[in-house]
Amino acid sequence: MLAILGLTLGQSATTVAAPVGGYELPDDAEEIYFLNVIDGDTFDAEMWVDDELVEVRIRMIGIDAPETNRSYGNEPECYGQEAKRYADSILNAAARIWVEIDRDPDDNYGRLLRYVWYEDPRSGDIFMLNEELVWLGYALANDYRPNTSRQDTLDDAERHAITESYGMWMACDRTVSGDPDQESESGPSMAEPTPGGTNQIEQDPFCAVFDTFQDAQDFLAQFPVIAGSIDIDGDGIACEDWFPS
């Protein structure tokens, strides 16, 4: 149990290695200027359009990060805040950011559909953020036709995340199979025997690694440093919303 929780907590601190960098920047990539993040796969930026710097909303294509709010008819989902924080940290720190178009340039909500590339400020290497988010388990690889020119790369990244049980594939998956062929394309399994509903999963995602309330309580007593992950309200009772009384 300690090894499992240690892995999960390590991921939340972004200690898991990202995909290999050193990509060549696509010839048609356009530079943009980050403003603020909306969620794990969407952010606002400025870019040059007809010699004018305008604000745009970018939706990263080929991926789907868990929702953080109720916009567009959605509901908050497990690991949504973690994905949002990670995307925000990368985009804020990037030395430069570019976007690459596929076939359809935008969606029905007026968002620009793009692959996002960034320069790491430490190494100078170029990474594709869409791939990195999937590789680390912050997003799913989803096929949004006809924008599929890099889908094989994203699908490979998802298989890697599942195999290594990274991100949502540990924190939000009750079965934790580690087998890409057994996992649903819709994402981590929330099926029984998960002892709670979506609200509990959103509030205490790390509680999914415990089989019983007593397991969680014993772990909290032995390792109080992780209280912020399994005792969110600080009352000394671990995973109280996850395991019904």
* Alpha-carbon gap, residue 221 to 205, rounded angstroms: 19
3-state secondary structure of 162: helix
Q: Is 185 a catalytic residue?
A: no
Note whether 53 and 143 are within 8 A (CB).
Answer: no
Rg over CA atoms, the chain: 19
CA atoms lying within 13 Å on the CB side of residue 62 = 27
Query: 114, 60 in Cβ contact below 8 A?
Result: yes
Q: Are 40 and 68 in contact (CB under 8 A)?
A: yes
Angle at 112 between CA 110 and CA 116, to 5 degrees: 155
b/e per residue, 93-104, with b = 16+ CB within 10 A? ebebbbbbbbee
| 8 A C-beta contact, residue 97 and residue 39 | no
CB 161 within 8 A of CB 139: no
Instruction: Answer yes or no: 103 catalytic.
Output: no
The answer to whether the CB of 93 falls within 8 A of the CB of 18 is no
Active site residue 59: yes
Catalytic residue chosen out of the listed positions 77, 111, 131, 132: 111
Alpha carbons within 13 A on the beta-carbon side of 200: 15
Tokens 């594939």 label which residue? 169
Q: Which residues are catalytic?
A: 59, 67, 111
